[in-house]
Homo-oligomer: A and B are copies of this chain.
């Protein structure tokens, strides 16, 4: 791609560094900014810079936060003895949307994935194990995605806390509400059969 302007080229190249944004999309986005009033570019860049510089991670759960301890951890009405282990902040948002969970979270910041060069030391595992060992936690719920990396991470953490006095659980795998059985993969279907629940429980609404 040949550009008639170095300034444009630099902007497009930087934009194309973002995941899932190719050069063509980057050019479209940058030309859009050029057509809009200057203020829009200023608002965008200042929001990004300010976020990158000032954002904090909750020192309890490592969730993104504007303060040292996030709203969830600081909320006294939440059950401090149940910790749900998730991969990143998007999972916290998804789980919060259900309105079901009233405990605390622990954001790992990723999954163990040797192929991507992510080992246990890059994740917030140490602080979780410490918290569990301190004895204040009654249950740890594993809510990582059900992939090889997710399972590895679950198991790595489980091995370190299994001797503590703590209940460990994993979120249920099975057929999603509204899904047709015939289109489900055999592993999911097999799991949902193995981990079947009393019929009366299945009648309960959220």
Chain A residues within CB distance 8 Å of chain B:
1-8, 10-11, 13-15, 17-21, 25, 27-34, 38, 40-56, 58, 63-66, 70-72, 88-90, 92-93, 96-97
Interface class of chain A by DSSP: helix
Chain B residues lying within 8 Å of A40, measured Cβ to Cβ, are 17
Give Cα A30–Cα B90 distance, bound, in whole angstroms: 12
Chain B residues lying within 8 Å of A43, measured Cβ to Cβ, are 14
- Contact present for A64 and B4 (CB under 8 Å): yes
Chain B residues lying within 8 Å of A13, measured Cβ to Cβ, are 47
A7 vs chain B, min Cβ distance (A): 4
A6 vs chain B, min Cβ distance (A): 6
**Taking A19-B29, A29-B19, A89-B31 as contacts, is the C-beta distance between A7 and B55 under 8 angstroms?**
yes
**Taking A4-B64, A27-B90, A66-B7 as contacts, is the C-beta distance between A41 and B48 under 8 angstroms?**
yes
- Contact present for B49 and A42 (CB under 8 Å): yes
